[in-house]
């Protein structure tokens, strides 16, 4: 007996959006902190530190997110010896994933700041960390905003992969409703539309921000 | 390897889609331009996994059926196509209008101008972006196992469910993906250096 797709089913799917957003938020905030550390390591004066951060980025950007999720899921179970809930494993995997991508994006923006800025600040006898904090980072932050916002869209879309390991978010909720209503033609386009409603304004904002930055040109 | 084959097919088809999109966006028909823009925006703002679900699970309700592998390649191609179209478009915008005017002055036909003066230089400019997107598709293709298409991930899924050595198998699969991604990256870079850098000199 299949259920009819009614208001309850619709509500179930829309309500699952909050798990997609919660996961995105956790990964974005955690990944922001981690990404900052990775970016700082990538521009460090120590070669060893740069290489370690570089390997981290290559590993996470060179392997599928789905594999990272499986490894986090089963890896945590192996390490702790108990079957964990999906939520901590998924949150951890997405945080590490976001840290690698944000770290790489921010490294790029830090390196985009002309060397003369470093030299000028050094000539003023500022210590290295104060140059970073007061001269480099404020300028890098401005050019980092559009790609960071753009990555947020990728992150929201990629949380759908968590559905495969059974984490109930928007996509998984859609699957569950298809299983009981047999209405894939109704449910999946609805799920896609919900993602679109969330992602499109952010994509639009990212491209506007980028155009704004382009217009200002080199006057950073 | 099924994953490589699938990604390569998606890449080839997707490039076709992308070139079609770029042509359509330059078309005189407003409706066509709007439709292509809509396609690109929708694909770019929804997850690949949901796109695969729609192709494989939703379309049969409308009487459009295909096996999982075809659906996977189609989904990956449509996904790649929309990103590639945007990358190509920015490459085409980088072609100076003087070049097109010069080609027109030489009496070249529109098709030949597009092919020789616009498209090939644009592909050259867009190559690094397209290569990066190809790697993303190679890694992203791991989600096609969710619609039961046969790829590396699905093989590992079935292996681990018979042996229960989940961590080991996923670890091995991750290494294989990493190897493929790094190898593809090196190969694509080599092609870039041999094909484009030398050609430009």
- Residue A155's CB is within 10 A of a number of other CB atoms, namely 21
Rounded CA-CA distance B40/A200 in Å is 11
In a domain, A2, yes or no: no
Q: Which of A174-178, A214-218, B70-74 has the lowest mean pLDDT?
A: A214-218
Residue B201 has pLDDT above 50, yes or no: no
Interface contact B187, partner A, CB < 8 A: no
**CB burial of residue B163 (10 Å; 0-12, 13-18, 19+):** exposed
Residue A1 has pLDDT above 70, yes or no: no
Q: In 3-state terms, what secondary structure has residue A145?
A: helix
> Which residue from A minimizes the CA distance to B167?
A74
- The range of the structural domain enclosing residue A108 comes to 7-215
User: How confident is the model at residue B32, as a pLDDT?
Assistant: 92
pLDDT in tens, A60-70: 999 999 999 98
Window 98-117 of B, Cβ < 8 Å to A = none
Rounded CA-CA distance B67/B58 in Å is 13
User: How confident is the model at residue A195, as a pLDDT?
Assistant: 96
Tell me the CATH number at A37.
1.10.3720.10
Q: Where are the alpha helices (DSSP H) in B26-106?
A: 30-44, 48-53, 68-93, 97-105
Cα distance between the two ends of chain A: 63
* Residue in A67, A175, A188 closest to B177 by CB: A67
- Residue B105's CB is within 10 A of a number of other CB atoms, namely 8
pLDDT in tens, B93-103: 888 888 888 98
Phi-psi category of residue A217: left, alpha or beta, with phi > 0 → left and psi -120 to 50 → alpha: left
Interface contact B186, partner A, CB < 8 A: no
The pTM of this model reads 0.87
User: How confident is the model at residue B200, as a pLDDT?
Assistant: 52
Domain count, chain A: 1
> Which residue from B minimizes the CA distance to A69?
B170
In a domain, A220, yes or no: no
Query: What is the dotted CATH code of the domain comprising B2-200?
Result: 1.10.3720.10
In a domain, A99, yes or no: yes
Residue B121 has pLDDT above 90, yes or no: no
Annotate A129-140 with DSSP letters as a single string. HHIIIIIIHHHH
> Which residue from B minimizes the CA distance to A159?
B47
Cα distance between the two ends of chain B: 37
Q: Where are the alpha helices (DSSP H) in A43-136?
A: 47-61, 65-80, 86-111, 115-123, 128-130
Interchain proximity B50–A199, CB inside 8 Å: no
Task: Render the burial of A183-210: b for 16+ CB within 10 Å, e for the rest.
Answer: bbbbbbbbbbebbbebbbeebebbeebb
Rounded CA-CA distance A116/A86 in Å is 49
Interface probe, candidates B3, B42, B49, chain A, greatest A C-beta count within 10 A: B49
Q: How confident is the model at residue A112 (pLDDT cuts 50, 70, 90)?
A: very high
> Which residue from A minimizes the CA distance to B176?
A63
- Mean pLDDT, residues B26-43 taken together: 91
Window 10-69 of A, Cβ < 8 Å to B = 58-59, 62-68
């Amino acid at each position: 007996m299949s259920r009819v797709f009614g208001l309850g089913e619709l509500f179930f799917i829309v309500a699952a959006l909050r798990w997609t957003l919660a996961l995105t938020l956790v990964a974005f905030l955690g990944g922001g902190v981690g990404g900052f550390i990775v970016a700082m390591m990538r521009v460090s004066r120590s070669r060893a530190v740069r290489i370690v951060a570089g390997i981290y980025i290559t590993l996470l950007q060179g392997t599928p997110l789905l594999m990272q999720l499986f490894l986090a899921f089963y890896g945590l179970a192996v390490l702790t010896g108990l079957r964990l809930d999906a939520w901590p494993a998924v949150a951890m995997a997405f945080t590490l994933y976001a840290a690698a991508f944000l770290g790489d994006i921010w490294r790029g923006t830090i390196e985009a700041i002309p060397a003369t800025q470093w030299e000028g600040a050094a000539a003023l006898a500022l210590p290295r960390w104060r140059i970073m904090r007061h001269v480099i980072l404020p300028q890098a932050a401005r050019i980092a905003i559009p790609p960071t916002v753009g990555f947020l869209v990728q992150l929201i879309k990629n949380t759908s992969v968590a559905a495969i390991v059974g984490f109930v978010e928007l996509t998984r909720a859609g699957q569950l409703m298809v299983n009981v209503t047999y209405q894939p033609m109704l449910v999946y386009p609805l799920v896609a539309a919900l993602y679109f409603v969330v992602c499109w304004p952010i994509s639009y904002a990212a491209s506007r921000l980028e155009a704004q930055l382009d217009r200002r040109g080199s006057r950073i | 390897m099924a994953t490589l084959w699938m990604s390569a097919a998606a890449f080839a088809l997707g490039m076709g889609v992308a070139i079609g999109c770029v042509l359509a966006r330059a078309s005189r028909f407003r409706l066509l331009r709007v439709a292509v823009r809509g396609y690109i925006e929708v694909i770019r703002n929804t997850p690949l996994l949901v796109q695969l679900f729609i192709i494989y699970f939703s379309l049969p309700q409308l009487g459009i059926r295909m096996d999982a592998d075809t659906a996977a390649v189609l989904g990956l191609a449509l996904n790649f196509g929309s990103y590639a179209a945007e990358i190509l478009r920015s490459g085409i915008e980088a072609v100076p209008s003087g070049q097109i005017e010069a080609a027109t002055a030489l009496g070249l036909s529109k098709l030949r101008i597009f092919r020789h003066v616009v498209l090939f230089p644009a592909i050259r400019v867009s190559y690094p972006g397209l290569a990066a997107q190809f790697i993303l598709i190679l890694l992203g293709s791991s989600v096609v196992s969710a619609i039961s298409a046969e790829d590396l991930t699905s093989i590992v899924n079935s292996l681990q469910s018979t042996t229960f050595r989940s961590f080991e198998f996923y670890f091995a699969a991750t290494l294989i993906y990493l190897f493929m991604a790094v190898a593809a990256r090196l190969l694509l870079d080599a092609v870039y250096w041999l094909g484009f850098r030398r050609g430009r000199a």
